């Protein structure tokens, strides 16, 4: 059979929406502080597999039948019931099972909320530095994003009020305030309850919904969890998303969104494809029904050891040069701020090739600043490697005259 080998030309065929983006393979540096998840050994693989086995043993026929169908668009009813239970148990608010949509990770939930609310040319507000995935999605869907002022506690309510007022005055009232109030990514703080109440008032005053992202809520090893925005407000102004990626494993690809029914219906209308992975849903529901607290009690002290080791090494290597870093009570990240005028974002790839991975601040910056900042994920490496890797980072910075 003849084969046509002349390259086909796509000249003039690509959509305006698509971009020429390299499809990178994932590399790990020797000291990998650039990732966004805990270590593989903390994923409860045995527990997930035995939960699946238990489910098969007790209702194998039913599971086999459901696996042979495409999942329901909203996702597994059993896992949605568990999510409703968990939200009540952990966060103290109740939602109807039908007001929960399971998605392919919480990234999809965030994307659906963005699509439900925004048109190209709209504006949105986030924390001053924000999870690059959400920043990217907001921008991809055509929003101009403004990072609102934060301090060591998180969003500053007065500054947020002023920013919304200013934007509104220019006819650019934001469509949403996106916030990661528990263990913020990348900066780390948990927003105190008082500020959350003030922000809710501000949101109501201006008529701007809050998209609350609790991706890291389960990863607390110190301090007190604060009530969710959604716990304090059931008017419908709060859209709530969360994930099983950081608690269990990102490879499961399961997260969820709960919102006022009219918002959820719009979000669902933007979804392309079927509901998320049914097999993963059986494993998650079965495992967490019996082991949620036990798993967190095993997992979070390990995270604390890693945070402590990174903190100690930052103290030993960075304390006399005017650098600052955050002291998160959970989550995965420490936020390093070098003295003003230092650019640690530019040499990031070079330093990665030399063995230390981190994310430069600019990637988290709606306002385009952050050259002197870096997100350091402490969750992936061992405590020993967290300590040694920060030493190696200091050496790499010194070699380049950055400290
Ligand atoms: C704050 C935050 N939200 C959402 C996500 C998306 O996670 P996933 O899609 O795996 O649930 C991440 C991932 O790093 C994150 O940091």
Nearest CA to ligand 1 atom 13: 36
Q: What pLDDT, on the 0 to 100 scale, is given for residue 27?
A: 84
| CB-ligand 1 contact for 245 (6 Å cutoff) | yes
Report the residue among 239, 245, 280 best suited for mutation to probe ligand 1: largest number of ligand atoms under 8 A from its CB. 245
Query: Which residue would you say has higher pLDDT here, 249 or 40?
Result: 249
Q: Tell me how far CA of residue 218 lies from CA of 104, 182, 243, 247, 293, in angstroms.
A: 19, 9, 10, 6, 10
CA separation for the pair 254, 106 (Å, rounded): 7
**pLDDT interval class at 218 (50, 70, 90):** very high
Asked if residues 342 and 403 have their Cβ atoms less than 8 Å apart, the reply is yes
The mean pLDDT of the chain is: 95
In this structure, how many other beta carbons lie within 10 angstroms of the beta carbon of residue 65?
10
Secondary structure (3-state) at 150: strand
| pLDDT tens per residue, range 320-350 | 999 999 999 999 999 999 999 999 999 999 9
Q: Tell me how far CA of residue 335 lies from CA of 34, 63, 271, 371, in angstroms.
A: 12, 44, 34, 13
**pLDDT interval class at 1 (50, 70, 90):** low
Here the tokens at position 125 are: 């507000």
| CATH 3.40.640.10 domain extents, the chain | 47-290
| pLDDT tens per residue, range 272-310 | 988 999 999 999 999 999 999 999 999 999 999 999 999
Buried-state track 358-390, b at ≥16 Cβ within 10 A, e below 16: bbbbbbbbbeeebbbbbbbbbbbbebebbbbbb
| CB-ligand 1 contact for 133 (6 Å cutoff) | yes
Distance 152 CA to ligand 1 centre (A): 22
Q: What are phi and psi of 31, to 5 degrees?
A: -110, 105
What number is the average pLDDT over the span 345-360? 96
Give the CATH architecture of domain 31-44+294-399.
Alpha-Beta Complex (3.90)
Put simply, whether the predicted model's pTM sits higher than 0.85 gets the answer yes
Q: Which residues pair with 241 in a beta bridge?
A: 213, 257
Report the residue among 79, 102, 103, 107 best suited for mutation to probe ligand 1: largest number of ligand atoms under 8 A from its CB. 107
CA separation for the pair 281, 78 (Å, rounded): 8
| pLDDT tens per residue, range 369-383 | 999 999 999 999 999
Q: What pLDDT, on the 0 to 100 scale, is given for residue 170?
A: 96
Query: Would you list the DSSP string of 48-87?
Result: HHHHHHHHHHHHHHHHHHHHHSPPPTT--HHHHHHHHHHI
| CB-ligand 1 contact for 185 (6 Å cutoff) | yes
CA separation for the pair 37, 397 (Å, rounded): 25
Q: What pLDDT, on the 0 to 100 scale, is given for residue 17?
A: 84
The answer to whether residue 2 scores a pLDDT higher than 80 is: no
Query: Would you list the DSSP string of 10-43?
Result: -TTTS-SS------PPPP--SEE-S-SS--GGGS
| CB-ligand 1 contact for 250 (6 Å cutoff) | yes
Distance 191 CA to ligand 1 centre (A): 18
Distance 253 CA to ligand 1 centre (A): 10
| CB-ligand 1 contact for 286 (6 Å cutoff) | no
Quick one: fold of 47-290? 3.40.640
Residue whose entry in the numeric block shows the structure tokens 């009813």: 77
Ligand 1 atom with minimal separation from the 107 CA = 9
CA separation for the pair 118, 365 (Å, rounded): 20
| CATH 3.90.1150.10 domain extents, the chain | 31-44+294-399
Distance 352 CA to ligand 1 centre (A): 22
CA separation for the pair 160, 171 (Å, rounded): 17
């Amino acid at each position: 059979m003849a084969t046509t080998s002349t390259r086909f030309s796509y000249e003039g065929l690509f959509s305006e929406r698509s971009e020429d983006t390299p499809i990178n393979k994932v590399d790990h540096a020797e000291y990998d502080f650039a990732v966004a998840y805990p270590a593989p050994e903390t994923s409860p693989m045995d527990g997930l597999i035995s939960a699946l086995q238990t489910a098969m043993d007790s209702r194998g026929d039913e599971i086999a039948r459901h696996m042979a169908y495409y999942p329901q668009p909203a996702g597994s009813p059993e896992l949605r019931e568990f999510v409703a239970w968990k939200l009540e148990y952990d966060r103290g608010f109740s939602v109807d099972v039908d007001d929960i949509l399971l998605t392919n990770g919480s990234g999809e939930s965030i994307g659906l909320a963005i699509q439900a609310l925004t048109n190209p040319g709209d504006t949105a507000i986030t924390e001053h530095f924000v999870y690059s995935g959400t920043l990217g999605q907001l921008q991809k869907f055509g929003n101009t994003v403004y990072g609102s002022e934060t301090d060591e506690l998180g969003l500053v309510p007065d500054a947020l009020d002023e920013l919304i007022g200013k934007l509104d005055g220019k006819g650019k009232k934001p469509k949403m305030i996106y916030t990661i109030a528990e263990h913020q990514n990348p900066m780390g703080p948990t927003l105190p309850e008082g500020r959350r109440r003030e922000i809710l008032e501000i949101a109501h005053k201006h008529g701007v919904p809050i998209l609350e992202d609790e991706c890291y809520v389960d990863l607390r090893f110190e301090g007190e969890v604060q009530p969710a925005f959604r716990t304090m407000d059931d008017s419908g102004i709060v859209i709530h998303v969360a994930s099983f990626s950081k608690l269990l494993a990102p490879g499961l690809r399961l997260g969820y969104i709960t919102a006022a029914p009219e918002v959820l219906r719009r979000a669902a209308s933007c979804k392309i494809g079927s509901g998320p992975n049914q097999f993963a849903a059986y494993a998650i529901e079965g495992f967490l029904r019996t082991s949620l607290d036990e798993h967190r009690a095993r997992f979070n002290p390990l995270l604390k050891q890693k945070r402590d080791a990174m903190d100690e090494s930052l103290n030993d290597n960075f304390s006399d040069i005017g650098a600052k870093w955050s002291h998160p009570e959970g989550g995965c990240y420490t936020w390093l701020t070098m003295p003003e005028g230092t650019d640690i974002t530019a040499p990031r790839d070079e330093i990665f090739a030399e063995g230390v991975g981190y994310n430069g601040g600019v990637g988290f910056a709606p306002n385009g600043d952050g050259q002197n900042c870096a997100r350091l994920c402490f969750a992936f490496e061992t405590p020993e490697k967290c300590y040694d890797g920060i030493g190696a980072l200091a050496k790499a910075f010194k070699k380049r005259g950055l400290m």
